[in-house]
Structure formats: structure tokens, C-alpha cells
Structure 1
């Protein structure tokens, strides 16, 4: 029979658990019982032995093939209380993100989701639901697809403290051999993405022995947030990345939250030996109701890691104390840690001689935008002021989980002075890092060679409010790596960003359109592509708006424009493709950009599911995700409300860096 949350079963043999599992449903009855059926897809639980389905539990399972692949509908559970840290289940059937799958609803909002993989083989998916413990939730199976594999199979939903794994790294070798490798819909061609599963904040950015290291928040076991560990990749040029095994795994109830990595050249930590320079990771350990700062170290260029046996090295008894960024401060001869008291919205500064013992130096904040729920992922670095020899300022960046200029999560920054102990801001009013919705938690690389001289950073290209977007079998990308500079514009210090010069190696043959007049009209430039770089300079003239439309076709377009009335650059993704997976995804996102000598310069990077727009000298950046059809690939220039001139327009197709597996080992 169909058993709901009242049913309790013992943990599966061979799986250790700290508490008994709670079965939500196993679909062994002839009907779906108290589950609500909508549409004609979910008629009744089906017998797996009469279909080509494997990997199920028991005799029957939930299936949406009631009227064939053309049928649609949903199947929703009664309310149940979340009483364990994870929800695990088996899923198979069609791979149609956003159209076939399972989702967890809390307060009517979808907070977790999963889809099939075009297979009759069911596999385990585990969601971390610790944050919802004690609250009521529902599971909903949905089928909105009508074509091939337009159905979903699911079985054996249970609440557990012993996650079931099966959709994660054990499938990686098979995936690397498949024709789908890095060719799925919406898969970026030159942005970094994990091969499989969920990714968020960049961590541990460091340059060592000719390699840029990129660690990142990673779930080895699924395509939504949970089991946070540090994924790892390296690159010789910030463009071509080699995937390495997971560097730091969650274990014993402690997840590996964000942090940094430093090259301990002086071996202050004592982790090194003769001829060995330790690479030390400083990260937040999250578990057991608190957040602490912990260490791990590597003596082989980051290929293997040892967690410090006396962790934590900094524990102030707080549950929201995270994301350390550490650097060596030469004038004071010590390590400095910048770390966030997240809910208190304060940044703390600590000092240490050896990375193991830390002393509080000072605090900064609250400051910046009012009403933010938290502050996290801080970074602090010094930048020279362009055009002012011998002058510099420190930049303090921190991120807000909600309330950003474009809605949802985003980053703000302050300029000021730092003496190794205290940061004093030029103003307590902050400036926005990015005016789009999809640039978060940027951090900069440490140990970049002095002869290079650049400050380089990268950010998570997603937004916590709309992060469950329609990609599979991975979720989230990093932005392009960017060079960060500081310049005075209209008397005020502004942080400017530009894509790193190394990306120019991906350019194909340049297409130059030359000067052209736009008289309240649009002009198709005759270029097709979803992997493009465009540099366009306009003289807006009497036009109220000028710009370009990319990823255009079949009723879809992403508009990148400049408004004369607002003196702003914007991205409008209202008609960009799939926008209905979250009510706040469609929209128009703008940042201030005055014309310079009557001209506006836009540099645009397009990569299948993203646009990054750099206005003028990079003082205004708008980063947005988009999810168009593969056939939406046209480009047009336009003007509205008057006559404008295109001074120049250069377009380059950009090569993919991902089609062949780039995989390293320990």
C-alpha cells in the first residue's frame, strides 16, 4: 500500500544512519492515495516488471506515462514535517529541466528540484534539507513535456540522515565518454562550469608554480545545494581549465564552506619541510550549529590535502561567522584575515603570525546598503589609482544574500585605507560591484607574480533567489576572469572591471562592420552565433535608446541597451528564452553609465546562457544569465526615438574550451 510520513523503516543495510529513516511514500498501492493528481499523466502507480524500468524499490513506482509521452500533469504529496537532514529518492525518465522532474515545496515555493536523464534506470538523488528542519513541505512530481522522453519515473521518497548517493562522481567516467560532454543545452563554451552537479562560490584562488587554482563550493552528490565540498581545477592561462578531484570533502557532519588559499613561503605554519612550501587552505567549517575557521594544507601543489588535526583555529561560538580571506601584510609582518559576522553585518579583521593563532584587530560595519539580511564572502586588496602615480586605495568587497540593486543577491564595495589593523572607508555609502543579477561572491587570486601586476578575480554567475535554473547535469557557471582596476571618474573613485586579456586567444576572425547610421530602426548585422565577443561604440545623437539585441530568433532576444533619459546601460532578458522557472527571473537590469564625449562604448561577451556587459572603461558591468533556444543566434543593432550613429562595431566568434575532456589526477 501507499505509505506516507507515518511509516518509519530501518536504515538500508550497509548504510549507517544517526536516526531511523522516515518513509514519505513508496507507491506500492494501486492508487496514489492522499497524493493530489492533476492532469492525465499520473493515472496510478505502475508495475516496473511490466515496463523497461530498473533501479526501483519494491513492485510499483510513480510514473507519468499514463497517456503516453504526450500526457502532462503533476502529483503532489500531502504536507509532511521535515524531521531529518536529507530527503532522498529514486528518479528516472525524461531529462527536461523545468519540464519533467521532482521538486520540494516549502511555503509553496520550489526550493529543490531534480530531473531524469533520459533513462529507464532510476538513480538516487539526495537533497540537503537541514535548513528546513521542523517546517512543513510537500513533494511534487511534474510532467510538462510532450515529446521524446516526455515522462518521469520516481520511487521511494524518504527523510534520512544517511544520504543516498548515485547521481554524482561515480558517473563521471561515463559522462566524459558521452556525446553529451559539454554540449548540453545552455552549457557555456568558454566559462568555467563543473562537469556534473551543483557549484556556487569561488574559493581558494591562488597562483602557484605556473598554475591558477580555482576551488569552488561543490556538491559531489547532486545538482542542488548540499554536501558542500571544495571542487578543484587548474589553468595555465585563466581560460583553459583542467578538472582535478575534489580537494576537500564534507565529513563528520561538517561541510566545507567558503575560504581562501595562501602560499606560506616562510613556512610560518610549520606545515612544510625542507624544500617544501605549503599551500594552506583557510576555510569555514559549517556544522553542529556553528561556523569556525579551519585549515588544511598541501605539499604537492594542491593535488592532495591534509586537514589540520587541531582544527578549528578560530572559534568564537557563532553560527554565522564565515568566509575568511587571508593575505600576508608585509608592513606589519603578519597574516591578516578578513571574515564576516554574516547576520550582524560586520566584517572582522584578525592577525596571526602562523595561520594557527588569531587575534582580533578591528571591525568594520554595519555600513553600505540598508536592510540587507547578511554580509558574506569579503575580500580586501590594495589597488593603485590609475593616472595618479604613487597613489592607491584599499577596496573592501562584501556580498549580500538579498536586496541587491537588481534584486536577490549581489556585491557592494568600499574604498578606503588599511594600515594592517583597521579599515577606514572613504564613505560609509557603498557602490555596486555589478548591476546584473548574476555576479556574486567574487574573490581575487593571491600570489599573482609581481611582474604581472594585475588584480584578478572571478565570481559565481548565479543568484540565490533564482539559482535553480534549467540546466542539467550541472548547475552554475563562473564569470569570465576579470582584471580589476581603480580610477577616478567625475571626481569619484570607481572600481573598473574588464575581461582578462587571455580571453582574446579564443577569438576567431574579426568581423568589422564600420560606421553606420541608425535612424529609429534596427539593423541585422548578418552575424550568427551564441559564442561571441562584441565591441560597439555609439554616438546616441537624438535617439532615446541605442543598443544591440543578441541571441535573437523565434520570438526570443536579449536586449543590451543604453538609455539617454536614465544615462544608464541595461540588459533586458524579459524575452530571452526560458524565463518562467521563477517569477523574478525575467526583468530589466540597469546601471549608471554617462556618455563620454558624446559616445558610449559597450563590450559584450555572449556565451550560450550568459551575457556580460562592460560599459565604457568597465566602470559599469551588467552580468545576466539567459536560457535561449539553440536557434536564437542572430545579432542586430538598433536605435529608438531618433537618429544615432554606430561609430564602430567589431565582432569575434569565440572558440569553445571544453569539448574535449580536460581532466587531471592526483
Structure 2
């Protein structure tokens, strides 16, 4: 009888503790909360041998010694005129006691937000004198108030040259980043404003400003500003910071503002004398617009009307010969494939057509025209609708190139092309004993506010991306960020399984590696052949899969999750979640390298040595574990595929 009671007792204990972090959709090697929602990372700092990370809710807290295994701690925020929310912010270690709160005091700087946007957002501080376990509200808060309803997300850091604290903080609805400075973290003086560049629509949130090393240039560093473009993208800018002003580099500025450095040939940028290349009828396209209600066009203007005016019109280009694989353009305006559109006319027939998406925001779209190469064509732009809600149609920068830009994104430098990567933050090192050199490590929330609250997980919503080491690479359009998963993740690898010189034609089950669970890592090196698409079918099962397709002819990769999740009961979730994500890529010497991480509800794909990354949540069923490789249009040689199942991070302490 006693043995039975003891057995039941231990089985009960195992059920209570063993099942935690094993729930359906629970990531097994990404940081998630035991039983609460997790959004923006914030307050990232390193001190006394530990990495600290807080997250949006009420500043829940986790610590780690290796950025792989985590220990979740209680909510540290104490005091203050509740109810209010501690929005995103940062934590600094005041090693020199500039604030007067004591040497090595930890100061959290965050946005104080009251329910219902009832009061202006202000920047406040809380102080910890016990190593970050509890932060106590400062009685003289706020420390910065400019009487703005949407004024948020301060990132504070110590600027050694000026011996001052610096803050970058967003006026989100005005797409502005303000820079302040302080001697004591309590009194802040305005320095400058950054804005008017990159993707300028929607909210700007969660800014960060830091230095990055340039690969291949010993000792060279550049300043980088990253900004969240709501609801789920992160853009960045590279330049110099003199302590008061952030100024983008000339190449970065020219690329983002004028499109200089774009591959291919500009057929029309609508900057000057464009009318001689077009036959224009009526008034809708009679003038290039310099001042506009639209955003994210290049140069000084575009063609078309986006106001509610009773103008219609047609413009048709002179004939040209199609000699590239793609025709790309920026488009904005109303949605009507027949009456508000841009068309490609070949042999007197409409070969391609595209319309707007009812937004006054210019985004890249394009046509794959490799099957039409050598043919004579014309481009026709139509605005045949009066009094539309979003005006007519507008076009800018028509470009002939071999890289298809049909992404539906603004012209910007994007940190990640996936649908679930937002609110990026970097760790700041205040630990004299931890020598990181030039290493900068960032992390982001793997979520999207379009459907974050409808996610199917029972344990809470949201989790963090893999921590990534970042640096800069010098390119034709200026410096670009490159990313790689941190080396510490390799400790999770189980036995390596590999195959070499695999020739594929059609679909082929990856027989040598069939994991029981979706916790694995893949590295592949592939020889590319023109007009042959190839890739991986992942999460196969129950009639569903996640498809990763590479098309060398148009230099694109597509991550298709339109049929990967088994969660279909919430229509609002499904409509926003079932998407295809596209990104550009560069194939060097016809060899492509892929690095893929699959977790129980996510995928992160690294290409071009980390210059291009796609991150997305997936939510497959437990039985969707099949893997295939495929090649369409011909044979593809997979030079090598290396695969590892990855151990769970839960149940093992990192604090040993």
C-alpha cells in the first residue's frame, strides 16, 4: 500500500512539473513565459555574469548565464499611481552613481501609459538596489514629459565620449525619434530629432541606437538606429552619432531617399521630363506631384492622384524590349484591377496587371516576366474612377532588373522579412568581467499585433526570437546588417545527421532525417540552376505543410504558411495569419547557403550569410513533422544537408 502511495505521489509530481513547458505549441528552445503573455523585449542588460531580459506586459523578468537556458523571476515593478502600464523601455547600471541612488544602482527607464490613452505618455524611472529583483517607483516621476499622447519606448545608454546618458524615444504617430541627454537620469535635455527617411507610415516604436563593427575592416564601427514600424516590421539606418545628432551615411541616405544603388535599369522615376516618354490622356497623370498626402515614394515626387478629385486619365509608355526577368515599381492608391491599375501590354494583349491596396503608401510590387524576354511591350497606367475613398492610382520608380521585388513592402532597410519579428532590442554590457569585444547581440518578439491576441496557445501568447549576433557588411548601397544565431545554441544539438551530393527532381522525402518533434536545425548548401525552383517542404502532415521556395531566376525566397497551422476556429486569426512572405536574395557563384531553425511553433531562416532573414510563427499540429526537399523545372543538387535534433531548454538550469 505504501509503495502505491509513493508511486502515485511521484507520478503526480512528474505530471505537475514535467508537463510545464510541454504544452501544445510551446517553443522548446525559444524563451517563453510559464503562464503569461510575452511581447516586446525590454530592459536588456548584462551584469554580474547574467543576461537580463524583461518583456511587455508588466515588465516580467528572466535571467540567463548563456542566453539559451532561462530562469523566470517575479514581476519586479513596485509602487506608482496604478493602474498604469509599464510600456517598453530600458535598464542601465549606474556604476558611477551619477543619479545619486547609489553605486551600481539599476535604473529602469520606461513609458508610463494610463488605460484608454486618457493621459499623455511620459517617461518614468524605477530604481533597484538589490540587483534587479525589485524596482521601486521614483516619487518625482515623470522625468520627461512633453505632453504627447503617444510618446514612448525610451532606450537609454551611456555615451563615453561626452560622459552623458543618452536617450532615444519615439513620437510614434509622427514618425519621429527624439534624442535627449542627461547627467543624472532624472533631468533630460533635448538634443535633436530624426525622421523623414525609410518607411514613414504607421507607428514608429521601440528605437535603439548602438555601434556595430564592420566585417573585414578591423577597428571600424558605425552607428545603427533601429526602429519598429508597426505592427510587425523593423527597419534600420546606418550612420554616425556625435552625441547629439544621428546622421545617416551618404550611401544609406541616397538609397533610402532616391533609390540610388538599386540593381537594374530605371525605366522611369518620374523626376523630370517624363512626359516625353509617355502618351498622356486627361488630367490624372498630367503633373508630377512634389507635395503629397502619400508616403514612401522615392525622390521628389511620383505620377498620379491620390486625392478625392474628379480627375481620370490614362498614360501609356513608348514601346520597349523586355530584356530582364522582372519589372518592379512602387504603387499606391485605390484597388480595382480594371480601372485603377498598371498594366503590361504585349502583342496588343494585357500580359500582367496590378492594382493598389487602398493605401496612400507606396510599396514595391513587380512582375516575373522571364517568359516574355525578347518581346516588345508597353506599360499602361489607368485611373478611370472618380471620387474613390483612396483617390486614384499612383506609380513611382519603374525598374527593369533580374531581382523581383513583389514583396508588398515599403522601400527601406528591413531587419527581417518575416511576419513575426518586432520590437528589436540589444543587450548592453555593464559587466567588467564579461569581455564581449565588439559582439552585439539582439533579440525580438516573435509576434504580430494583427493576430497576437488570437494566437492558439493555452499557456500564453508570444515568445522571443533566437538571440542573434549582428555586425555590418559593406555593400553597393551602403552598410547592411548581417545576423547569425549565437554559438551557444550549438550546445542543444544532438547527434549530427548528414547527406551529401543529393540530386533532386520533383519531391523527395528527406529519409536520413525524420525528427519526432519539430525541434531541429538544418544547414544546407545548394547548387542553383536558372529556371529551376527548389526548397524544403517542412511541417508535413495531416494535409498541411510549410513551404520554403527559392527561385534563382528572380532572386527571391518565399515562405508560404497559408496551410501550415491546425488552428482554424478563429477566422480573424486565419485571415491575417495565412500569408506568403517574400525576400530578396543574392546567389554567389551559383551556391546558396541556408540555415534553418524549426521550433514547435516557429521557423527562422538565415540566407546570404545572414544578410537576409525570415522569421515566422507556424502553429502546426504535433504530428506535422515530415520533411521533404523538392526541385521543380529540372534537377537541383543539394551539395550537403546537415541536421540536428535540438534538446529542450526547459528543466535544466542555466545558473549552474
How far apart, CA to CA, are the structure 1 residues paired with 2:228 and 2:111? 16
How far apart, CA to CA, are the structure 2 residues paired with 1:334 and 1:311? 20
**Structure 1 residues 617-652: Cα deviation after superposition (integer angstroms, max 9, x where no partner):** 100000011011101112111111111111111001
* Superposed displacement of residue 240, structure 1: 0.5
Q: What is residue 193 of structure 1 aligned with on the other side? A: 32
Q: Find 1:441's aligned residue among 423, 432, 441.
A: 423
Q: Find 1:546's aligned residue among 534, 537, 540.
A: 534
* Superposed displacement of residue 456, structure 1: 0.5
How far apart, CA to CA, are the structure 2 residues paired with 1:522 and 1:549? 10
Check the 8 A contact 2:63/2:71 in 1, yes or no.
Answer: yes
- The alignment's TM-score, normalised by the length of structure 2, stands at 0.69
**Structure 1 residues 319-371: Cα deviation after superposition (integer angstroms, max 9, x where no partner):** 1000000111111110000000111110000000111100000000132114x
Q: 1:593 to 1:265 in 2, by over 3 A?
A: same
Q: 1:389 to 1:298 in 2, by over 3 A?
A: same
**Structure 1 residues 389-437: Cα deviation after superposition (integer angstroms, max 9, x where no partner):** 33221111101114xxxxxx21111111111100111234230111000
Q: Find 2:86's aligned residue among 252, 256, 264.
A: 256
State whether structure 2 residue 606 is matched by structure 1 residue 606: no
Check the 8 A contact 1:176/1:661 in 2, yes or no.
Answer: no
State whether structure 2 residue 553 is matched by structure 1 residue 565: yes
Check the 8 A contact 1:542/1:644 in 2, yes or no.
Answer: no
How far apart, CA to CA, are the structure 2 residues paired with 1:441 and 1:519? 41
* Superposed displacement of residue 521, structure 1: 3.6
Q: What is residue 245 of structure 2 aligned with on the other side? A: 422
Higher percent of residues as helix: 2
Q: What is residue 431 of structure 1 aligned with on the other side? A: 413
Check the 8 A contact 2:510/2:628 in 1, yes or no.
Answer: yes
Aligned residues: 472
Of the two structures, which has the highest relative contact order with CA contacts closer than 8 Å and spacing of 6 or more?
2
Match runs of 1:182-261 below 5 Å: 182-218=21-57, 229-248=58-77, 252-261=82-91
How far apart, CA to CA, are the structure 1 residues paired with 2:97 and 2:213? 29
Bigger drift between 303-312 and 598-607 goes to 303-312
Bigger drift between 413-422 and 550-559 goes to 550-559
Q: What is residue 203 of structure 2 aligned with on the other side? A: 374
* Superposed displacement of residue 450, structure 1: 4.2
Q: Find 1:502's aligned residue among 488, 503, 509.
A: 488
**Structure 1 residues 551-572: Cα deviation after superposition (integer angstroms, max 9, x where no partner):** 1122121112211233122211
- The alignment's TM-score, normalised by the length of structure 1, stands at 0.68
Match runs of 1:2-401 below 5 Å: 177=16, 179-218=18-57, 229-248=58-77, 252-272=82-102, 276-287=103-114, 288-370=118-200, 372-401=201-230
State whether structure 2 residue 441 is matched by structure 1 residue 456: yes
Match runs of 1:615-630 below 5 Å: 615-630=607-622
SS of residue paired to 2:428: coil
SS of residue paired to 1:584: helix
SS of residue paired to 2:144: coil
Q: 1:636 to 1:414 in 2, by over 3 A?
A: same
How far apart, CA to CA, are the structure 2 residues paired with 1:491 and 1:278? 43
* Superposed displacement of residue 175, structure 1: 12
Q: What is residue 148 of structure 1 aligned with on the other side? A: none
Q: Find 2:639's aligned residue among 639, 644, 647.
A: 647
* Superposed displacement of residue 663, structure 1: 10
Check the 8 A contact 1:243/1:662 in 2, yes or no.
Answer: no
SS of residue paired to 2:488: helix
